[in-house]
Amino acid sequence: MRLTLGAALVMLLLAGGTARADDDAQMETAKQALQTARDALRNAARDYEGHRSKALNHVSSALEQVNAAVQVSKRHERKDEKKVNTLQKKIDKLEKQQDKIEAR
């Protein structure tokens, strides 16, 4: 049994990244929809007694929040990558030690 626990930990971290990627795709879809709504509101001829400009402000705020969420996700992704790399280095080191012990 060659350090299967360590390999399982690495795979578990990678699986979390896959779930995040699915969520990121949904956020990108929302971002595109909000951009389309923003453009439509900007191009509307009338202001509808201020409601168009209020809606435009809300859509712009929503876009800011989506962009912030994507940045948070990217930060977490980088942290996960560091964890995976650190664990992989530890696994490699342990495997080398195990090889030395088995060679005796």
What pLDDT digit, counting tens, does each position of 17-26 carry? 666 778 899 9
Tokens read off for 75 = 């930060």
Q: What percent of the chain has pLDDT over 90?
A: 68
In a domain, residue 12? The reply is no
Residues of the chain predicted below pLDDT 70: 1-19
Number of domains in the chain: 1
Is 14 domain-assigned?
no
Is 96 within a domain?
A: yes
Other CB atoms within 10 Å distance of the CB of residue 66: 18
Q: What is the maximum span of the chain, computed from C-alpha positions, in angstroms? A: 85
Q: Which domain holds residue 80?
A: 25-103
